Structure 1
């Protein structure tokens, strides 16, 4: 079956890249012909906002003497390839994709099935046109399978406008099978979209640690400089201080798993990201993991590493609470660095984790087989 997968654009998001890779691998192993539809993000200012934004930047740069870029969006777009230079080879080698400007470029008859997910594709603040991820462009198509696999709202709150709710509630009824990543998504779909869905694991969980180690072994990346992996998407002084404390108490050496991404704070040289293979090897070799990232938490679980995750409420707290309940490890997820307790055992319950992963993989395989039948 010819399958098109729709998820977030493949950019500086290791979890996003690997969930796309994992889902493609699983579907290909079932004999399907799979293509990721990649709609790259481009920084831009809306026409209505540009005059005010440019005026304010001009004032800050030439009157207040602040280090401001007038045409900041153009600069960020031009630097994107450099930031991604170590990540792109993995994408080009391992993920079959078709780059489009809009999903509507996909025409009826090109694919037998359309799969939405995973990651926060059903969260309006993270998506420019939310109806696209309910396959609005294909609403009139005949003889095509429509499937949502582990789509995420990222939050327990309903963030759709009344108009978006009406459109998406009509579109989800066209799906042959629909599933969400977080348990809270089941209630959101029922209460706001009038749809019955299942909960399915993030695609990265469908592969095991050895599958990811195989990726590492094929490239032999340079070893990390430490053994306390710090993967912060939103670094703060409190998180950095906690990393120093854990390093001191456990005799570990901290190192960063990702480079900073803020183009307004850091020069280009500091924002060049490591390779996907290096990132995976960092998890494989770490002795302890401290993070505020959903996918970093998942990979800590997959690699069976003791970890602490500071729940990143701004990026979607429901993701963290859902996975904590799924594996019954609430002690590993903290609301604040202040909740860290040196006397707490952050090791994972190995047998229970393995049993849960096995069960979730069986459920996912059953869901996918049924969805494409």
Structure 2
């Protein structure tokens, strides 16, 4: 069956790329033909760009802007490796930057079903158009509508009253809905008046061996403490330094500079995202992982590594609690610097990590949900 996938724009986030890749792998393994819709932010008018250029130029002259005026022109170079991975490994639609183009695409393609999921697809502040992710463009078209591991990202309601009204009506047209966080089940019931099932992120439905095939060097080489920190802070750095001292291991990372206020044409190379394969290999080669990323935590688990997960409130803490409670690893999550807690985590029996995700009830529930949904396409 031909299946469209609606997810957030890909390319600027490793976790987003890997969940899109993983869901396609699951669908391909089930004999389907998945296509991820390349829904980008709505196109802007020439007048908008002219006004933006003028404003930024004025800010630059006043010394109030550190970023290059048209830094967006540098983004294709910065994301060259992630975009290459997408082009070679994920089947994508053409670029779509409006609801009108989205409707035209579905008019031209004969999809049997559309799946919404998963990486914060139902979080309005991250969405190019939140109504599109509730499939408003399908109108009364007869097509199977599914949500797999769709995520609100947080445990509070961020929709406006108008968005809530529209999306609640659209949600009732779905054939079945699953969400990634247990808090999402309550949000669906309370605000959308629909039932939802909690399932795992698509990245956790793939076997570790499949990820090892993407690694570009020997995974037997151990390098030390692998860090993947999205939002730097003093307390997080102090955690890493403390672990380095206690374990007598050095840190390493596969991560670019992300403070674009420091970006110039002379240091552009520092901002280029490393290859997706390098990012994954880092988990495989590590002795221990320290991360404030949801998918960083996922890959530490998938590669069976001891890890410390640093809570990241700005990006949605409920995702971390839900993931780690469902895998019986919630004690690996910390929200501030606490040396006593760090000692406890480092002294934790290693057999805790000899877990197989496919033995967990949440894994079986996730596979069962997807299998049942796909059988009826």
State the TM-score, normalizing by the size of structure 1.
0.89
Regions of 4+ moved over 6 Å: 42-50, 221-225
Match of 1:353 in 2: 355
Q: Is the 8 A contact 2:146 2:174 kept in 1?
A: yes
- The correspondence for 2:237, drawn from 235, 240, 245, is 240
User: For 1:272-321, what per-residue CA distance to the aligned partner results, in whole angstroms no more than 9, with x for missing partners?
Assistant: 11111111110001011111100000111111111111111011111011
User: For 1:83-137, what per-residue CA distance to the aligned partner results, in whole angstroms no more than 9, with x for missing partners?
Assistant: 1222233222211111232333322452000000011000011113101001110
Q: How does 1:54-93 map to 2 (within 5 A)?
A: 57-64=56-63, 67-69=66-68, 71-72=69-70, 75-76=71-72, 78-93=73-88
Q: Is the 8 A contact 2:226 2:282 kept in 1?
A: yes
- Measured in 2, the distance between the counterparts of 1:338 and 1:54 equals 46
Q: How does 1:162-241 map to 2 (within 5 A)?
A: 162-216=161-215, 219-220=216-217, 226-241=223-238
Change (3 A) 1:258 1:112: same
Match of 2:24 in 1: 24
Q: Is the 8 A contact 2:255 2:274 kept in 1?
A: yes
- Measured in 2, the distance between the counterparts of 1:206 and 1:312 equals 24
How far apart are residue 264 of structure 1 and its match? 2.3
- The correspondence for 1:96, drawn from 76, 91, 96, is 91
After superposing the two structures, state which structure 1 stretch, 123-132 or 359-368, moved more.
359-368
How far apart are residue 81 of structure 1 and its match? 1.7
After superposing the two structures, state which structure 1 stretch, 19-28 or 32-41, moved more.
32-41
Match of 1:265 in 2: 262
Q: Is the 8 A contact 1:57 1:68 kept in 2?
A: no
Q: Is the 8 A contact 2:11 2:86 kept in 1?
A: no
- Measured in 2, the distance between the counterparts of 1:110 and 1:355 equals 35
Q: Is the 8 A contact 1:60 1:68 kept in 2?
A: no
User: For 1:125-155, what per-residue CA distance to the aligned partner results, in whole angstroms no more than 9, with x for missing partners?
Assistant: 111310100111012102x110000000011
Q: How does 1:301-340 map to 2 (within 5 A)?
A: 301-338=301-338
Unaligned ranges ≥5, structure 1: none
Q: Is the 8 A contact 1:221 1:278 kept in 2?
A: no
- Measured in 1, the distance between the counterparts of 2:15 and 2:61 equals 40
Paired residue secondary structure (1:342): helix
- Measured in 1, the distance between the counterparts of 2:139 and 2:202 equals 26
Q: Is the 8 A contact 2:66 2:262 kept in 1?
A: no
How far apart are residue 340 of structure 1 and its match? 6.2
Change (3 A) 1:288 1:355: closer
How far apart are residue 55 of structure 1 and its match? 6.2
Paired residue secondary structure (2:80): coil
Q: Is the 8 A contact 1:225 1:255 kept in 2?
A: no
Structure with greater contact order relative to length (CA < 8 Å, sep ≥ 6): 2
Paired residue secondary structure (1:115): strand
Q: Is the 8 A contact 2:304 2:353 kept in 1?
A: no
Match of 1:155 in 2: 154
State the TM-score, normalizing by the size of structure 2.
0.89
Q: Is the 8 A contact 2:7 2:118 kept in 1?
A: yes
Q: Is the 8 A contact 1:227 1:254 kept in 2?
A: yes
Q: Is the 8 A contact 1:309 1:333 kept in 2?
A: yes
Match of 1:253 in 2: 250
Change (3 A) 1:351 1:164: same
User: For 1:253-274, what per-residue CA distance to the aligned partner results, in whole angstroms no more than 9, with x for missing partners?
Assistant: 1112321233222342111111
